[in-house]
Structure 1
């Protein structure tokens, strides 16, 4: 599940998707992409403010997600490792595998500049530990059963949860009163699809949904 790089399209298009119209600018969303093996791939998408060169800036943003770099057979001395990928997506509505955008926060331009907040978010996400050993040293042990044994006992689910917790701890997002990070993660996962994601491998979701 951690090889999925979507939202993938860099094309610019005018969408008629009613769900896409719900996307809010300057906002942080959890992303869920359709499962390829056993779970939904997850990441964090920060929508951009209006950009003159992009006709529909509502749909553009920067995607952050944990990706597993498999061993390179031609370079056996280089071990596999987890990486944080960051890339600009010009039109998230064109993604073919996106299932859910779940808003976890919106930036307030009346307090600090949007650019300053974006840089702060990027810094926090870059400091979230990657890989099981690194994560357990810095954050604490994982629960039994967490992580993908095929991917060195770690996965994008762990990174995304830790990222949301780090953003909340830094005051860059404010969770709804009474909600913990675990609650937010559980609620968003339940909205993405059935508990057994394997039943949805290869299934057409009929587009994505936006939850604000």
Structure 2
């Protein structure tokens, strides 16, 4: 799995993909990005109302995903570590690597302001432990086969699953009696073939939206 895969949509563009019209406002989506090595990169995307600093934020939002950093030839002193990356995406429909958006919940403005809920989501996701040792100490041992040994026995899939559970426990999303594991499995089946390596370098023909 690539160390830092993410929607690469940081510029405004007009999409011809009709799937983009399905994207719902103020909603949380699981993101699946095309595999570069052996699996789809996963994260959480929160769509939100127009940002005044973005001229035409038709499909704007905030992406949260676990990112792995490691030493490079340019800077061999950088320690290997996992971190949570959060960044504004101006137009998710312009991503060339996005394969699937899978909706896991929509914010209810009658409960509290969308901004207040967004800040709560940010706090919850900030608290999700990163890295295998940290995760197992705070949540419990991983199942056999979980985690990428090349990435210190951890990966973005584990973080995303734990993030789903944390959001549900905080009452920010409703899993409707399903477990985070089931949601992850169900959405993964929609992303593509079981062996993601067969899709490395393949043109998916654009992303799909599942609501």
Q: Normalising to structure 1: TM-score of the pair? A: 0.94
Name the counterpart of 1:29.
29
Unaligned runs of 5+ in 2: none
Alignment of 1:98-177 (within 5 A): 98-176=98-176
- For residues 14 and 208 of structure 1, what CA distance do their matches in structure 2 show? 14
Matched, 1:198 2:197: yes
Cα displacement string for residues 140-198 of structure 1 (whole angstroms, at most 9, x for unaligned residues):
0001111000000000000000000000000010112x322111111000000011111
Alignment of 1:73-92 (within 5 A): 73=73, 76-92=76-92
**CA root-mean-square deviation:** 1.5
- Quote how far apart the aligned CAs of 1:76 are: 4.8
Structure 1 residue 79: Cα displacement: 2.2
Q: Quote how far apart the aligned CAs of 1:50 are.
A: 3.2
Give the Cα separation in 2 of the matches to 1:179 and 1:150: 31
CA distance in 2, matches of 1:173, 1:24: 15
**What are structure 1's unaligned runs of at least 5 residues?**
none
Aligned residues: 211
Q: Kindly tell me: are residues 137 and 12 of structure 1, through their superposed partners in 2, closer, same or farther at Cα, counting changes over 3 Å?
A: same
Instruction: Flag the 1:201–1:54 CA change in 2: closer, same or farther, 3 A.
Output: same
Alignment of 1:14-25 (within 5 A): 14-25=14-25
Deviation at 1:54, TM superposition (A): 3.9
TM-score, normalised by the number of residues in structure 2: 0.95
